[in-house]
Chain A
Amino acid sequence: MIKAILIFNNHGKPRLSKFYEHYSEDTEQQIIRETFHLVSKRDENVCNFLEGGMLIGGSENKLIYRHYATLYFVFCVDSSESELGILGLIQVFVETLDKCFENVCELDLIFHVDKVHNILAEMVMGGMVLETNMNEIITQVDAQNKMEKSEAGIAGAPARAVSAVKNMNLPEMPRNINIGDISIKVPNLPSFK
C-alpha cells in the first residue's frame, strides 16, 4: 500500500502532499521535513529506494523517489508494493502531468494544486494503484475539464493573470522538469542555488 505521496522542491518546500493514512497535521509536516532530509542528502545516481524515516514507520516502509530538475517525487510504500513498479508509476505520473500541463514545471504544480490532486486521484486511490494507463487517465482528466469549462462560463475569465504572475520576479525560477526521454525544450533561465 502507498502510505503517502510527497512532492517537494530542492529546498524542501512542499508542492504536494497526500497521505493515505491518518496523521496529525504536525506529524504530516514533520514527515515531509524528515523525508526531505533523507532524500536530499543522497547523491545523484544512487539507487532510488531507501528505508523510510522513523515517523512514517521506519524500516517497514520504503521511500521510492525520483528527482526531476527542481522537484523530488517521493512515494512512501509498505512491503506489499513492487519497488520497480512504483518507480514506473512515478514516471507515468510525471508524463501525465507533462501532457496535461504541456511541459510541466514547478509553477504549474503551485498554481494548479487542485488539478494535480485530480490527476493523482485518477491514478491512486486510498493508497492503491487505480489506473496505470496514461491514455485512460488523460481521457478522464479531459472529460473533467470539459465539464468545468461548460460550467464556468464567464466566471472563468481572468486568464491573463497567470502569465503575468509567471513573469514576475520570483525567488525560485522554475526550470522545466526533465522527463526521461521525452524531449523538452529547456528555456535559458538562470539557475538559483
Chain B
Amino acid sequence: MPAVSKGDGMRGLAVFISDIRNCKSKEAEIKRINKELANIRSKFKGDKALDGYSKKKYVCKLLFIFLLGHDIDFGHMEAVNLLSSNKYTEKQIGYLFISVLVNSNSDLISLINNAIKNDLSSRNPTFMNLALHCIANVGSREMAEAFAAEVPRILVAGDTMDSVKQSAALCLLRLNRTSPDLVLMGEWTARVVHLLNDQHLGVVTAATSLITTLAQKSPEDFKTSVSLAVARLSRIVSSASTDLQDYTYYFVAAPWLSVKLLRLLQCYPPPEDGAIRGRLTECLETILNKAQEPPKSKKVQHSNAKNAVLFEAISLIIHHDSEPTLLVRACNQLGQFLQHRETNLRYLALESMCTLASSEFSHEAVKTHIETVINALKSERDVSVRQRAVDLLYAMCDRSNAKQIVAEMLSYLETADYSIREEIVLKVAILAEKYAVDYTWYVDTILNLIRFAGDYVSDEVWYRVIQIVINRDEVQGYAAKTVFEALQAPACHENLVKVGGYILGEFGNLIAGDSRSSPLVQFDLLHSKFHLCSVPTRALLLSAYIKFINLFPEVKGTIQEVLRSDSQLRNADVELQQRAVEYLRLSSIASTDILATVLEEMPPFPERESSILAKLKRKKGPGNLHPDLDENRKERSANGGTADHSSTTSNAKVLLLSCMTHCFLIVTVTSPKVAASPTPSTDLLGLGSTITTQNSAPPASKGTSLLVDVFSENIAAFPVETPVAVGPVADENFSRFVCKNNGVLYENQLLQIGLKSEFRQNLGRMYVFFGNKTSTQFMNFAASVPADPTVDGGAQLQQILNIECMSDFVDAPVLNIQFRYGGTLQNVAVKLPITLNKFFQPTEMTSQDFFQRWKQLGAPQQEVQKIFKAKHSMDTEVTKAKIMGFGAALLDGVDPNPSNFVGAGVIHTKTTQVGCLLRLEPNTHAQMYRLTLRTSRDTVSQRLCDLLSEQF
C-alpha cells in the first residue's frame, strides 16, 4: 500500500502549478505568480479566520513559488502561528515553511523559539521531533542560546523514545557546529558515549556522527568511545547478513553505521590496549577479506555498500599508518580497483592511493602501479577521474620516476581539459624543480610547459625558472641557447618572450660566439616579437635591450636607433616612454665602466620556499595539504629564491608578489636546570637566553626599503604577548618525531602545524608551518614570536626557528600560539619535538673498537638498561630505520648475535660532546626488547634510553 495516496492533493495548489507550467513566457509566469501572491496576501490579511487546510494550501503555494526562485517576503507570521496549532498537519507545515524560508530573521526567532520550547516539553514524540528538526535546520545562534542546554538533556534522558534520541543527537551536532562555544561538555558526555551500545542502530548511527564531531574538538573527553566503537564494529562485521534485519542493505550489514564508526576511529591513533587493537585489526582484515569473496548480489547497490565500508577501512589503515601488512594489503586492493570496470571505484581508488603514497611503508608499493595510472590519464573518459590520476602521479613522484611522470604530464597537458590545465602546469613545474638532477632538463621542461600551455603558466612559474638559471652558473649557457632556439618559432607565447628577453639580456653573451646567434641576430629576434607583446613584456624587453648595450657594444647604435624612434620615445604608455627616455640617455652619457656597473649581471636570488608551491596550496585549499606532507617526507632540493626582481628596473609590486614573512628566531634550548626558567612549559622566549629576531636579508634592489617596512610594521604592531591561561600542552604527536624530522605536529579543526627540521652537530633549524584549515582569516596571529598577524583562510604561514643545544636536556620547549578566529581568542600550546637525540652525529666503528669503548663505559651509572614489551610489530627493517632515524649509526656485524642491533654516535652540545653506544636485543618469542645504553654521562644515558624505548 502506498504511504501517500495519490488522491489527497489540494485542488487550488494543483491548478496553480499547472497554470505556471502552462505559461509560455517568463513574463507570463511572473504575472501569474504576482497574481497568486496578491491573492494569498489578501487571504492572510482578511478578517475571516482561515482553516488549517487553506493555510496549508497557501503555504504550499508559497513554497512552490520560492522554489522557482522568487523572493517570499510575507507569510512568516502565519507560519509561526501554525506552530502553536494543536493539529499535526498545521504544525508540520508551519515548521516546513520555517526551515525552508527562515534563516535568522531575528524579530521572529523569539516567537519560533517559544513554540519550539512548548513542543520540546510536550512529551509528544512527533512534536518533539518536529521541534528538533527545526532547530537543526535553522541552527541560528539565538536557537543555540535557547536550547544548547536542553537538547543534551533530552538526548540522555532514560525515557526518551529512540526516534527522538536520534533527532536530538543530530540536533546537538548541528548546534555544536554553528555555535561550538555554547555547547558545553558536562555529565552528559559520558552517557553519550554509551549510546554506542544502544539497541537501536539508528540511534547508534546518529550518536556516532555526534561523537565523531565532538571528539575532533576534545579527543580526551571521548577517548572511551574507541573501545566501544571497535566492539560495535566487530559485532557488525562478524554478523551474518540477516542478523541486523532492516539495517542490512542489499546483503551488507549496516553499511552506513560501519562507515561512521570507521570515521570515528580515524579521530584517534591506533588503540594502545593490545586486545582492542587486535580486535580492530581483525575487523579490518575481515573487511579486506570480504572484498575478495564473490559478491552476494549482482546489484550495484550491493557492491556500493560493500565498497563504501572497504574504502573507509582503508582510510583508517592509512590514518593509523602503523601496520605494514595491512597497508600493503590495502594498496593491493586499491590496485585491483584501479582496473575495475566501475568508474566510481577507479575514481575512489586513485583518490585513496594519493594518501597512501605519503606513507613510508607503502610508497614503494604505490609506485608499482605507475603504468596503470598513466594509462588512466590517457584513456579515462571522465575528467574527474583524470584529475585524480594527475593528483596521484604527483603524490607518487620521487627521484626515481620523476622524468617519466613529468614527461607523461607534459604530453597530457596538450590535450588536457581547460579547467585543470593551470593546476597541472603548477604540478609539473614543482616536480621538475624538486627532482631536477641536471638543470638542463628542468629548463627544457619549463620551456615545454610554456609551449604547450603558455596561457596557463602563471607568473610564479616563469619567475622561478629565471631565478634558477640566475643562481646556477652551469645551466646559463644552455638556457640561453635553448630560449634562443625556442624564440625562432614564428608564433611563440608571450611568456616565452618574457623568459627569452630576460635570459638573453643576462646571458646572451654566452652564445654570441656562434655567428648564427650573434648579438645582432639575437636583438633582431627579440625585437621581431616586440610589437606583438603587451606593455609589461615590452617594458621587460626594453630592459633587455639596455643590457645588450652593455654586453655587446657593437649593437649600441642599432638599439639607440630603436629607443629613439617615436613609437618608443613618445609612447602613450608612461612606463614605456620613461624607460625609453632613461635608457637612451643612460646609454649615451654613461661611460663603459658606469654602464658595466649599473647593468651588471643579476646577483643570485636569496634562497626561499618556492612560490609555486605556495600557489598550488592556495589553489587546492586547506583540505588538500598532502602534497606538502609528501614533500616533508622526501628530501627537498635546496635552492630557492623567488624571481622577485623581474628585471633591472623591477618595481616594488613585483617584489612583493610572493613575499612570505620570514622571521628568524634564534632559540637557545638549554636544559631547564641551567636556564633559570621555573617551568619547562614557558614559551620559547622565556627559555632562551639569547634571542634575536632579524629580518631575512632582503634582495638588493629598489624595493628593499618597502620590504623592510612591511616587516618592521608587523613586529611593531604585534609585540609578543605573554599567553594568557594556556590550555594543556599538546604532545600526542611528540613521540612520532623522535625518529623523524618532518610531519604534522598538531592538528585541530582550525589549525594544522607542520614541521620540517634539520640538525647538524649542536645546531638545528626548524621550519614551522601554520596552515589555516578554515576559509576565514585568523587575526592577531602570534606564535611565541612575532609572525604575520593575519593568516588568510586556506593559507600557510611559515616560521623558522634556529636551535642551539647548550647542554643535555630533558624537557622540550613549548610553542604557544595565539590567534583570533571569528570573535574568540584561541590558544594552542604544542610541545616542539626537539629532543636530545636530534643532536646525534652517527659514528661508524669496527667491532673491536666498539667493544673496547663498551668496556670503557662500564661504570654502573653510565649504563642504563630497560626491558619492555613491544608495542609495534617487531619488524627488522622498521627497527633499523628507527635506529637510524634516532640518529645513531647502525653497526652491522658487530654483535655476534645477528638479530641484535648495535648503534653508536656522538651527542653534540655547545660545551661538550658525549659518546653514546647502544644495543637493542629483540626477543620475538616473548615480544620483548632489552635496550642498553652506555654513554659518558648518566643523564644522557637515561634520557636517550627513555626516548628510544618509547619507539618500539
Q: A130-B167, A130-B206 are known contacts. Are A50 and B15 too (CB-CB below 8 A)? A: no
B772 at the interface (CB under 8 A from A): no
Given the known inter-chain contacts A125-B171, A126-B136, A126-B174, please indicate yes or no for A118 contacting B96, CB distance below 8 A.
yes
Q: How far is the CA of A85 from the CA of B258 in the complex (A)?
A: 10
Q: For the complex, give the distance between the alpha carbons of A170 and B775 in Å.
A: 45
Cβ-based interface call for A144 (8 A): yes
0/1 string, A1-38, CB within 8 A of B gives 1: 10000000000001111101010010001001000000
List chain A residues, Cβ under 8 A from B926.
none
Residues of B within 8 A of A172 (CB): 21
Q: How far is the CA of A117 from the CA of B137 in the complex (A)?
A: 12
B343 on interface, CB distance cutoff 8 Å? yes
How distant is the Cα of A83 from the Cα of B352 in the complex, in angstroms? Answer: 12
A70 lies within 8 A of chain B by Cβ: no
| Contact call A163/B348, Cβ cutoff below 8 A | no
B interface footprint on A98-133 (CB within 8 Å = 1, 0 otherwise): 011110000010111111011001000111111111
Q: From the candidates B89, B300, B348, name the one contacting A83 in the complex (CB within 8 A).
A: B348
Q: Does residue B384 face the partner (Cβ distance < 8 Å to A)?
A: yes
Question: Given the complex of chains A and B, what is the CA–CA distance between A180 and B297 in angstroms?
Answer: 13
**In residues 1-15 of chain B, which contact A (Cβ within 8 Å)?**
2-11, 13-15
- Is B778 among interface residues, defined by CB-CB distance under 8 A? no
In the bound complex, what is the Cα–Cα distance between A47 and B342 (angstroms)? 8
Taking A79-B623, A131-B202 as contacts, is the C-beta distance between A171 and B22 under 8 angstroms?
yes
Binds A, one of B59-67, B401-409, B826-834, B852-860: B59-67
CB distance from A8 to the nearest CB of B (A): 10
**Which residues of chain B come closer than 8 Å to A42, judged between CB atoms?**
382
Contact with A along B166-184 (1 / 0, CB 8 A): 1100110110010000000
How many residues of chain B are within 8 Å of chain A by beta carbon?
90
Binary CB contact string for chain A from 54 to 87 against chain B (1 if under 8 A, 0 otherwise): 0001111000000000000000000110111101
Q: Are B88 and A151 in contact (CB under 8 A)?
A: yes
B486 nearest CB across to chain A (Å): 33
The reply to whether the CB of B311 lies closer than 8 angstroms to some CB of chain A is yes
CB–CB B170/A112 < 8 A: no
Q: Contact: B173 with A87, CB < 8 Å?
A: no
The answer to whether A45 and B343 touch (CB under 8 A), given A51-B384, A155-B53, is: yes
List residues of chain A with CB within 8 A of the CB of B343: 45-47
Is B312's CB under 8 angstroms from A82's CB? Answer: yes
A residues less than 8 Å from B347 (CB atoms): 47, 49
- B903 near A: Cβ within 8 Å? no
The answer to whether A88 touches B4, judged by C-beta atoms less than 8 angstroms apart, is no
A126 to B343, CA, bound (A): 30
Say yes or no: is B126 at the interface (Cβ < 8 Å to chain A). Answer: yes
Which chain B residue lies CB-closest to A58?
A: B621
For A43, list chain B residues within 8 Å (CB): 381-382
**A133 and B104 contact, CB distance less than 8 A:** no
B30-38, B302-310, B754-762 - the one binding chain A: B302-310
Please determine whether B301 and A180 come into contact, CB atoms closer than 8 angstroms: yes
Question: Which A residues, 145 to 187, have Cβ-Cβ distances below 8 Å to chain B?
Answer: 145, 147-149, 151-152, 155-156, 158-163, 165, 168-172, 180-181
Q: A114-B93, A162-B7 are in contact. Are A49 and B384 (CB under 8 A)?
A: yes
Given that A59-B621, A114-B60, A132-B205 are contacting pairs, would A125 and B136 also be in contact in the complex, using a CB cutoff of 8 Å? yes
Asked whether any CB of chain B lies closer than 8 Å to the CB of A140, the reply is: yes
> Is A100's CB under 8 angstroms from B3's CB?
yes
Q: Are B259 and A161 in contact (CB under 8 A)?
A: no
- Residues in chain B near residue A171, CB distance under 8 A: 21-22
**A135 near B: Cβ within 8 Å?**
yes
Bound Cα distance from A118 to B205, whole angstroms: 20
Q: Are B137 and A126 in contact (CB under 8 A)?
A: yes
- Any chain A CB within 8 A of the CB of B69? yes
0/1 string, B341-364, CB within 8 A of A gives 1: 001101110000000000000000
B256 with A85: CB separation less than 8 A: yes
Contacts of A88 in B (CB 8 A): 249, 255-256, 301, 304-305, 308
Given A20-B137, A147-B88, A165 and B384 contact (CB-CB distance below 8 Å): no
Interface of B is mostly: helix
Q: Complex: how many Å from CA A165 to CA B6?
A: 12
Contacting residues, chain A, for B722 (C-beta < 8 A): none
- Between A125, A168, A170, the greatest number of chain B beta carbons within 10 A of the residue's beta carbon is seen for A125
| Minimum CB distance partner of A156 in chain B | B8
* A162, B9: Cβ atoms closer than 8 Å: yes
Q: Which residues of B have CB within 8 Å of A144?
A: 88, 92, 126
Point out the residue from A91, A126, A132, A163 that lies within 8 Å of B7, measured CB to CB. A163
Instruction: Give Cα A121 to B100, complex, Å.
Output: 12
- In whole Å, how far is B130's beta carbon from the nearest beta carbon of chain A? 9
**Nearest residue in B to A102 (C-beta to C-beta)?**
B2
Q: With contacts A140-B163, A161-B11, A165-B15 known, is A129 near B2, CB below 8 A?
A: no
Question: Are A114 and B137 in touch, CB under 8 angstroms?
Answer: no
Which of B6, B136, B173, B623 counts the most chain A CB atoms within 10 A? B6
Question: Do A130 and B3 touch across chains, with their CB atoms under 8 A apart?
Answer: no
Distance of B904 from chain A, by nearest CB (Å): 46
> B89 contacts A147, CB within 8 Å?
yes
- Point out the residues of chain A lying under 8 angstroms from B387, CB to CB: 51
A46 and B381 CA atoms in complex are apart in Å by 7
* Residues 53-109 (chain B) with a chain A CB within 8 angstroms: 53, 56, 60, 63-64, 66-69, 71, 87-89, 92-93, 96, 100, 103-104
**Minimum C-beta distance from B835 to chain A (A):** 33
Q: How many angstroms from the CA of A78 to the CA of B68 in the assembled complex?
A: 26
- Tell whether, in the assembled complex, residue A100 and residue B4 are in contact, meaning their CB atoms are under 8 Å apart: yes
**Chain B residues with CB below 8 A from A140, complex form:** 163
How distant is the Cα of A148 from the Cα of B69 in the complex, in angstroms? 29
Task: Decide: B263 and A80 in contact? CB cutoff 8 A.
Answer: yes
Taking the closest CB of chain B, its distance from the CB of A182, in whole angstroms, is 10
Known contacts: A127-B174, A144-B88, A158-B11. The answer to whether A85 contacts B308 by CB under 8 A is yes
Cβ–Cβ contact A60 & B621, under 8 A: yes
Contacts of A128 in B (CB 8 A): 170, 173-174, 206, 209
Tell me if A113 and B64 are in contact (CB < 8 A).
yes
- Closest residue on chain B to residue A107 by CB atoms: B17
B97 (CB) vs chain A CBs: closest residue: A114
Question: Assuming the A-B contacts A51-B384, A132-B247, are A125 and B7 also in contact, with contact meaning beta carbons closer than 8 angstroms in the complex?
Answer: no
Q: How far is the CA of A162 from the CA of B12 in the complex (A)?
A: 10
Is B624 close to A, CB under 8 A? yes
Kindly state whether residue B591 has any CB partner on chain A within 8 Å. no
**Min distance, Cβ A36 to any Cβ of chain B, angstroms:** 12
Do B67 and A126 touch (CB < 8 A)?
A: no
- Whether B14 contacts A165 by the Cβ 8 Å rule is yes
Question: Judging by beta carbons under 8 Å apart, are A118 and B104 in contact?
Answer: no
CB of B473 closer than 8 Å to a CB of A? no
Whether the Cβ atoms of A138 and B3 lie closer than 8 Å is yes
CB of B429 to closest CB in A, whole Å = 19
Other-chain residue from B3, B87, B100, B308 in contact with A142 (beta carbon distance below 8 A): B3
B209 to chain A, nearest CB (A): 5
> Which residues of chain B from 159 to 203 have any CB-CB distance to chain A below 8 Å in the complex?
163, 166-167, 170-171, 173-174, 177, 201-202
Residue numbers of B with Cβ under 8 A of A are 2-11, 13-15, 17-18, 21-22, 51-53, 56, 60, 63-64, 66-69, 71, 87-89, 92-93, 96, 100, 103-104, 126, 132-133, 136-137, 139, 163, 166-167, 170-171, 173-174, 177, 201-202, 205-206, 209, 212, 246-247, 249, 255-256, 259, 263, 299-301, 304-305, 307-308, 311-312, 343-344, 346-348, 381-382, 384-385, 387, 620-624, 775
23 of the cross-chain contacts (CB-CB < 8 Å) are A47-B346, A48-B344, A49-B347, A50-B384, A51-B387, A60-B624, A80-B263, A83-B308, A83-B311, A83-B344, A83-B348, A84-B307, A88-B308, A114-B96, A121-B133, A130-B167, A133-B247, A142-B3, A145-B4, A147-B89, A149-B8, A159-B8, A163-B6
Given A118-B92, A155-B53: 18 more A-B contacts, CB < 8 Å: A25-B71, A43-B381, A45-B343, A46-B381, A46-B385, A47-B382, A47-B385, A49-B347, A49-B384, A85-B255, A91-B304, A113-B60, A114-B96, A127-B174, A129-B209, A134-B246, A136-B246, A163-B7
The 5 closest A-B pairs by CB, nearest first: A126-B136, A84-B308, A159-B7, A161-B11, A126-B174
